[in-house]
Amino acid sequence: MSVYLILYILLQIPLVYGKLAPWCGVIDYALVGRNYTTINATKNQKLCYQACLKDSPRCRSANYRPRDQECDLNCASHFDVCAGGGLVEQPGSLYTFTASETIGCDIQPDTRDTNVCDIADNEPSRREDQGLEWQLVFKGVAGTGIKLYDLWTITQSWIATENSGNCQNKALYNAWKNGQLNIKQVKLSLYDKTGVKVELIFNGVDSGISTWFAKERLVSSPWSDLTTTSHTHYFSIDGPAKRGYRRFFINRNYGGCGVDRGWLVVLDSEDDCQWGHFSSYPTILYSTHCIAVNWATSNAEALGMADYLTIHIDTE
């Protein structure tokens, strides 16, 4: 029988601001898929978590294996966007994290639906200066073998996606699909292990789950040459009809593998161009420069690969 044993560790560890940080532990569990480094020869759990605190805000939680004296530092915790899906049983491991200000150590990972984005999954997203309050609708993870286009457009695709890290707020998604929401704006963001890399804002008024992603609705983008008046060959979630693997596609030039140039593409499977060949899919590519890049000839510094994609909405 799988039982989560939650402990409130009475030890208080000082933070850089002088406050005391209560920390919590989950016995025989670890957060997987979020580790960015492992520290060997760590004598105890306290030293492991202190190492995490010293690397804050990059480090969000830690896994400690006493037998091996190994300390994994994680770039997320189960409080972060859909990260609870990565908390798995691992005998002999101790998962540690800073107590939540609202619920302390009282988490129940056993009861979470890993395909659902609930209130606890939302990133800190309040923008007081603009009066916006973003609600997470969708998160799609790269490299899982599960097509992000299908997850966004086909409800049945959520079957057998457990522990993939993908998630959907089904209530918000269905209300949006059925025209029951007054959406002001939509935000698409790309992330890697260091945080958000790209953010596009769209006018969401009277939009559907596919029509919001359009050039004429663009409010802001990180690329100086991408505006509502820019020349684009494709700007759609569906992408080219003949290439059903290029999704969330924002492209400038199209007409031969060597001249393909654009800003964003999600490759759900192997492309017929060499620049679209990778070891796993989906692959999320984007321009790291302030302008469109050539997908085929740009170097690694100009061509970014995101770990996941999120879609948020701001409603009235």
pLDDT at site 221: 93
Q: Has residue 111 got a pLDDT over 50?
A: no
Assess contact for 197 and 191: CB atoms under 8 A: yes
Domain ranges of the chain: 6-111, 119-315
The residue with greater pLDDT, 27 or 107, is 27
Burial of 19: CB neighbours in 10 Å, binned 0-12, 13-18, 19+: exposed
pLDDT at residue 245 in the model: 87
Of 272, 268, 263, 266, nearest in space to 293 by CA = 263
180-191 per-position pLDDT tens digit: 999 999 999 999
- Confidence band of 45 (pLDDT split at 50, 70, 90): confident
Beta bridge pairs of residue 188 = 200, 311
Which is more confident, 45 or 124? Answer: 45
Residue pLDDT, tens place only, 275-315: 999 999 999 999 998 899 999 988 878 899 999 999 999 98
d(CA 151, CA 119): 20
Residue type, 101: E
Q: Where are the beta strands (DSSP E) in the chain?
A: 6-14, 20-31, 35-39, 61-65, 70-74, 87-98, 126-127, 132-133, 135-141, 167-168, 183-192, 195-203, 218-220, 234-236, 246-253, 261-267, 283-287, 293-294, 303-306, 308-315
Give the list of residues 6+ apart from residue 195 with CB closer than 8 angstroms, or none: none
pTM value surpassing 0.75: no
| CATH no. of 6-111 | 3.50.4.10
Separation CA 282–CA 270 (nearest Å): 9
- Please tell me which residue, 103 or 262, carries the higher pLDDT value: 262
Q: What pLDDT is recorded for position 101? A: 45
Distance CA 60, CA 49 (A): 10
Per-residue confidence at 109, pLDDT binned at 50, 70, 90? Answer: very low
